[in-house]
Amino acid sequence: MRCFLNLQPIKVISFDLDDTLYDNRPYIDKAETEFLLFMKHHFPAEHQWESHFWWSEKKKLEAENPAVSHDTWKSREDNAYRILLNMGYSPQGAKAGAKAGLDHFLHYRSDFKVPEKSIELLKLLATKFKLIGISNGNVDPKRIGIAQYFEFILHAGNGHRMKPAPDMFIESCSRLQVQPQEILHVGDNFAADVVGARLFGCQAAWLNPAFGRVEKELPDSLLPHISLDSVFELTSLTDS
Protein backbone atom coordinates (compact mmCIF):
# COMPACT_ATOMS: atom_id res chain seq x y z
CA MET A 1 0.00 0.00 0.00
CA ARG A 2 1.24 3.48 -0.88
CA CYS A 3 -0.22 6.58 0.74
CA PHE A 4 -0.35 9.74 -1.38
CA LEU A 5 -2.83 11.76 0.69
CA ASN A 6 -3.66 11.44 4.36
CA LEU A 7 -6.79 9.40 4.95
CA GLN A 8 -9.55 11.15 6.88
CA PRO A 9 -11.94 9.26 9.20
CA ILE A 10 -13.97 6.75 7.15
CA LYS A 11 -17.56 5.73 7.78
CA VAL A 12 -18.32 4.01 4.47
CA ILE A 13 -16.29 1.94 2.02
CA SER A 14 -17.73 1.78 -1.47
CA PHE A 15 -16.55 -0.87 -3.91
CA ASP A 16 -16.45 -0.97 -7.62
CA LEU A 17 -17.22 -4.64 -8.27
CA ASP A 18 -15.74 -5.89 -11.55
CA ASP A 19 -11.97 -6.39 -11.43
CA THR A 20 -11.89 -5.10 -7.86
CA LEU A 21 -13.33 -8.03 -5.87
CA TYR A 22 -12.79 -10.62 -8.61
CA ASP A 23 -11.21 -11.00 -12.06
CA ASN A 24 -14.09 -10.12 -14.36
CA ARG A 25 -12.38 -10.89 -17.68
CA PRO A 26 -13.27 -14.57 -18.14
CA TYR A 27 -16.91 -14.02 -17.19
CA ILE A 28 -17.59 -11.03 -19.41
CA ASP A 29 -15.78 -12.73 -22.32
CA LYS A 30 -17.91 -15.85 -21.85
CA ALA A 31 -21.12 -13.81 -21.69
CA GLU A 32 -20.25 -11.88 -24.85
CA THR A 33 -19.45 -15.08 -26.74
CA GLU A 34 -22.62 -16.83 -25.61
CA PHE A 35 -24.76 -13.81 -26.45
CA LEU A 36 -23.49 -13.59 -30.03
CA LEU A 37 -23.83 -17.36 -30.52
CA PHE A 38 -27.41 -17.15 -29.26
CA MET A 39 -28.30 -14.35 -31.67
CA LYS A 40 -26.57 -16.12 -34.57
CA HIS A 41 -28.49 -19.33 -33.86
CA HIS A 42 -31.93 -17.78 -33.39
CA PHE A 43 -31.65 -14.84 -35.81
CA PRO A 44 -29.26 -15.90 -38.62
CA ALA A 45 -28.01 -13.11 -40.84
CA GLU A 46 -25.34 -12.32 -43.40
CA HIS A 47 -23.25 -10.53 -40.78
CA GLN A 48 -23.43 -13.71 -38.65
CA TRP A 49 -23.46 -11.56 -35.50
CA GLU A 50 -19.69 -11.28 -35.66
CA SER A 51 -18.10 -9.39 -32.78
CA HIS A 52 -16.68 -6.59 -34.92
CA PHE A 53 -20.13 -6.03 -36.49
CA TRP A 54 -21.84 -5.94 -33.08
CA TRP A 55 -19.43 -3.39 -31.62
CA SER A 56 -19.48 -1.25 -34.75
CA GLU A 57 -23.28 -1.04 -34.56
CA LYS A 58 -23.12 -0.31 -30.84
CA LYS A 59 -20.75 2.61 -31.42
CA LYS A 60 -23.17 4.02 -34.00
CA LEU A 61 -26.07 3.72 -31.56
CA GLU A 62 -24.19 5.48 -28.76
CA ALA A 63 -22.97 8.21 -31.11
CA GLU A 64 -26.57 8.95 -32.04
CA ASN A 65 -27.82 8.70 -28.46
CA PRO A 66 -24.96 9.33 -25.99
CA ALA A 67 -27.23 8.92 -22.98
CA VAL A 68 -27.72 5.23 -23.71
CA SER A 69 -23.99 4.59 -23.21
CA HIS A 70 -24.53 5.05 -19.47
CA ASP A 71 -26.86 2.05 -19.30
CA THR A 72 -25.22 -1.27 -20.19
CA TRP A 73 -28.56 -3.14 -20.12
CA LYS A 74 -30.37 -0.67 -22.36
CA SER A 75 -27.53 -0.17 -24.82
CA ARG A 76 -27.28 -3.92 -25.44
CA GLU A 77 -31.02 -4.37 -25.80
CA ASP A 78 -31.43 -1.28 -27.98
CA ASN A 79 -28.56 -2.31 -30.23
CA ALA A 80 -29.99 -5.79 -30.74
CA TYR A 81 -33.43 -4.30 -31.36
CA ARG A 82 -32.13 -1.95 -34.04
CA ILE A 83 -30.16 -4.69 -35.78
CA LEU A 84 -33.18 -6.98 -35.82
CA LEU A 85 -35.37 -4.20 -37.22
CA ASN A 86 -32.84 -3.63 -39.99
CA MET A 87 -32.94 -7.36 -40.73
CA GLY A 88 -36.66 -7.08 -41.42
CA TYR A 89 -38.23 -8.22 -38.16
CA SER A 90 -41.40 -6.49 -36.99
CA PRO A 91 -41.07 -4.10 -34.04
CA GLN A 92 -42.75 -6.70 -31.83
CA GLY A 93 -40.48 -9.48 -33.07
CA ALA A 94 -37.38 -7.34 -32.77
CA LYS A 95 -38.30 -6.33 -29.22
CA ALA A 96 -38.88 -9.94 -28.18
CA GLY A 97 -35.64 -11.08 -29.81
CA ALA A 98 -33.59 -8.31 -28.20
CA LYS A 99 -35.06 -9.13 -24.78
CA ALA A 100 -34.30 -12.84 -25.22
CA GLY A 101 -30.72 -12.02 -26.19
CA LEU A 102 -30.27 -9.71 -23.20
CA ASP A 103 -31.61 -12.37 -20.82
CA HIS A 104 -29.20 -14.92 -22.31
CA PHE A 105 -26.29 -12.52 -21.85
CA LEU A 106 -27.24 -11.71 -18.27
CA HIS A 107 -27.42 -15.40 -17.37
CA TYR A 108 -23.77 -15.92 -18.31
CA ARG A 109 -22.75 -12.46 -17.07
CA SER A 110 -23.31 -13.52 -13.45
CA ASP A 111 -22.62 -17.25 -13.76
CA PHE A 112 -19.85 -17.39 -11.14
CA LYS A 113 -19.11 -16.91 -7.45
CA VAL A 114 -16.81 -14.30 -5.93
CA PRO A 115 -13.62 -15.83 -4.46
CA GLU A 116 -13.95 -16.84 -0.81
CA LYS A 117 -11.01 -14.63 0.12
CA SER A 118 -12.93 -11.60 -1.14
CA ILE A 119 -15.98 -12.67 0.85
CA GLU A 120 -13.85 -12.88 3.99
CA LEU A 121 -12.53 -9.38 3.29
CA LEU A 122 -16.06 -8.00 3.05
CA LYS A 123 -17.08 -9.74 6.27
CA LEU A 124 -14.11 -8.25 8.10
CA LEU A 125 -14.59 -4.71 6.79
CA ALA A 126 -18.30 -4.84 7.56
CA THR A 127 -17.46 -5.16 11.27
CA LYS A 128 -16.18 -1.58 11.23
CA PHE A 129 -17.60 0.20 8.18
CA LYS A 130 -20.78 0.37 6.16
CA LEU A 131 -20.17 -1.21 2.77
CA ILE A 132 -21.82 -0.17 -0.49
CA GLY A 133 -21.27 -0.92 -4.17
CA ILE A 134 -20.98 1.64 -6.96
CA SER A 135 -20.62 -0.12 -10.30
CA ASN A 136 -20.70 0.84 -13.96
CA GLY A 137 -21.42 -2.80 -14.81
CA ASN A 138 -24.45 -5.07 -14.73
CA VAL A 139 -23.42 -8.08 -12.68
CA ASP A 140 -26.08 -9.56 -10.36
CA PRO A 141 -24.75 -9.25 -6.77
CA LYS A 142 -27.12 -11.89 -5.44
CA ARG A 143 -26.07 -14.54 -7.94
CA ILE A 144 -22.34 -13.96 -7.38
CA GLY A 145 -22.80 -14.16 -3.61
CA ILE A 146 -22.03 -10.68 -2.28
CA ALA A 147 -25.33 -8.79 -1.96
CA GLN A 148 -25.78 -9.61 1.73
CA TYR A 149 -22.57 -7.81 2.73
CA PHE A 150 -23.61 -4.44 1.35
CA GLU A 151 -26.05 -1.80 2.52
CA PHE A 152 -26.95 -1.39 -1.16
CA ILE A 153 -25.33 -1.61 -4.59
CA LEU A 154 -25.90 1.02 -7.27
CA HIS A 155 -25.48 0.32 -10.97
CA ALA A 156 -25.17 2.78 -13.83
CA GLY A 157 -28.41 3.14 -15.76
CA ASN A 158 -31.98 3.97 -14.75
CA GLY A 159 -31.09 7.62 -14.43
CA HIS A 160 -27.58 7.13 -13.06
CA ARG A 161 -24.72 8.10 -15.33
CA MET A 162 -21.57 6.01 -15.27
CA LYS A 163 -18.61 6.98 -13.12
CA PRO A 164 -16.79 9.35 -13.21
CA ALA A 165 -20.13 11.22 -13.28
CA PRO A 166 -21.15 11.94 -9.67
CA ASP A 167 -24.70 10.54 -9.82
CA MET A 168 -24.13 7.34 -7.84
CA PHE A 169 -21.87 9.07 -5.32
CA ILE A 170 -24.56 11.71 -4.77
CA GLU A 171 -27.26 9.10 -4.17
CA SER A 172 -25.00 7.15 -1.81
CA CYS A 173 -24.37 10.19 0.38
CA SER A 174 -28.06 11.00 0.40
CA ARG A 175 -29.10 7.47 1.37
CA LEU A 176 -26.52 7.11 4.13
CA GLN A 177 -26.61 10.73 5.32
CA VAL A 178 -22.82 11.05 5.18
CA GLN A 179 -20.45 13.61 3.72
CA PRO A 180 -18.44 12.70 0.59
CA GLN A 181 -15.14 12.75 2.48
CA GLU A 182 -16.47 10.07 4.83
CA ILE A 183 -16.58 7.58 1.94
CA LEU A 184 -13.53 5.67 0.76
CA HIS A 185 -14.18 4.44 -2.78
CA VAL A 186 -12.17 1.41 -3.92
CA GLY A 187 -11.78 0.59 -7.60
CA ASP A 188 -9.40 -0.51 -10.32
CA ASN A 189 -10.31 1.97 -13.06
CA PHE A 190 -8.37 5.20 -12.70
CA ALA A 191 -10.65 7.41 -14.78
CA ALA A 192 -13.92 6.03 -13.40
CA ASP A 193 -13.02 5.26 -9.80
CA VAL A 194 -10.18 7.54 -8.73
CA VAL A 195 -11.14 10.62 -10.75
CA GLY A 196 -14.85 10.06 -10.14
CA ALA A 197 -14.43 9.74 -6.38
CA ARG A 198 -11.97 12.62 -6.00
CA LEU A 199 -13.95 15.08 -8.11
CA PHE A 200 -16.99 14.50 -5.92
CA GLY A 201 -14.94 14.85 -2.73
CA CYS A 202 -14.72 11.19 -1.70
CA GLN A 203 -11.49 9.53 -0.68
CA ALA A 204 -10.07 7.13 -3.26
CA ALA A 205 -8.24 3.82 -3.03
CA TRP A 206 -6.83 2.70 -6.38
CA LEU A 207 -6.40 -1.03 -6.88
CA ASN A 208 -3.38 -1.10 -9.19
CA PRO A 209 -3.01 -3.63 -10.72
CA ALA A 210 -6.63 -4.75 -11.03
CA PHE A 211 -7.73 -8.02 -9.43
CA GLY A 212 -5.94 -10.97 -11.04
CA ARG A 213 -3.53 -8.79 -13.02
CA VAL A 214 0.16 -7.97 -12.70
CA GLU A 215 0.44 -4.99 -15.05
CA LYS A 216 0.46 -1.65 -13.24
CA GLU A 217 -0.86 1.59 -14.71
CA LEU A 218 0.28 5.16 -14.17
CA PRO A 219 -2.00 7.94 -12.89
CA ASP A 220 -2.55 10.75 -15.34
CA SER A 221 -4.28 13.43 -13.28
CA LEU A 222 -5.56 13.38 -9.69
CA LEU A 223 -3.74 11.12 -7.25
CA PRO A 224 -5.65 8.57 -5.17
CA HIS A 225 -5.40 8.81 -1.41
CA ILE A 226 -3.92 5.32 -1.36
CA SER A 227 -2.77 2.83 -3.97
CA LEU A 228 -3.23 -0.89 -3.34
CA ASP A 229 -1.17 -3.71 -4.82
CA SER A 230 -3.89 -6.07 -3.57
CA VAL A 231 -7.45 -5.39 -2.46
CA PHE A 232 -6.71 -7.47 0.62
CA GLU A 233 -4.42 -4.72 1.93
CA LEU A 234 -7.65 -3.04 3.04
CA THR A 235 -7.63 -5.32 6.07
CA SER A 236 -5.17 -2.83 7.63
CA LEU A 237 -8.04 -0.32 7.91
CA THR A 238 -9.57 -2.43 10.68
CA ASP A 239 -6.43 -2.23 12.84
CA SER A 240 -6.94 1.33 14.02
Q: How confident is the model at residue 220 (pLDDT cuts 50, 70, 90)?
A: confident
* Span 155-174, average pLDDT: 96
Query: When comparing pLDDT for 98 and 222, which is higher?
Result: 98
Instruction: Out of 16, 71, 78, 188, pick the active-site residue.
Output: 16
Neighbours of 64 (CB within 10 A): 9
* Span 97-112, average pLDDT: 98
**Would you say residue 174 has pLDDT above 70?**
yes
Which CATH number applies to 2-22+114-238: 3.40.50.300, 3.40.640.10, 3.20.10.10, 3.40.50.1000?
3.40.50.1000
What pLDDT sits at residue 66? Answer: 94
What pLDDT sits at residue 116? Answer: 98
Annotation says 16 is catalytic: yes
User: What is the edge-to-edge ordering of all strands in the sheet holding 203-207?
Assistant: 2-3, 226-228, 203-207, 183-187, 12-15, 130-135, 153-155
What pLDDT sits at residue 18? Answer: 97
Burial of 220 (0-12, 13-18, 19+ CB in 10 A): exposed
What pLDDT sits at residue 158? Answer: 86
Query: When comparing pLDDT for 218 and 104, which is higher?
Result: 104
The per-residue pLDDT for range 43-52, each reduced to its tens digit, is 999 999 999 9
Of 96-110, 174-188, 217-231, give the lowest mean pLDDT range.
Answer: 217-231
What pLDDT sits at residue 221? Answer: 78
The per-residue pLDDT for range 71-84, each reduced to its tens digit, is 999 999 999 999 99
* Span 205-213, average pLDDT: 96
* Span 122-141, average pLDDT: 97
Q: What percent of the chain has pLDDT over 70?
A: 100
What pLDDT sits at residue 240? Answer: 65
Of 41-50, 76-85, 151-160, 215-224, give the lowest mean pLDDT range.
Answer: 215-224
**How high does pLDDT run on average in the chain?**
96
Q: Are 30 and 108 in contact (CB under 8 A)?
A: yes
Q: How far is CA 228 from the centre of its chain?
A: 19
Q: Does domain 26-109 have CATH number 1.10.3720.10?
A: no
- Is cis: bond before 209, omega within 30 of 0? yes
Residues forming CATH 3.40.50.1000 domain(s) in the chain? 2-22+114-238
What pLDDT sits at residue 239? Answer: 87
Residues forming CATH 1.20.120.1600 domain(s) in the chain? 26-109
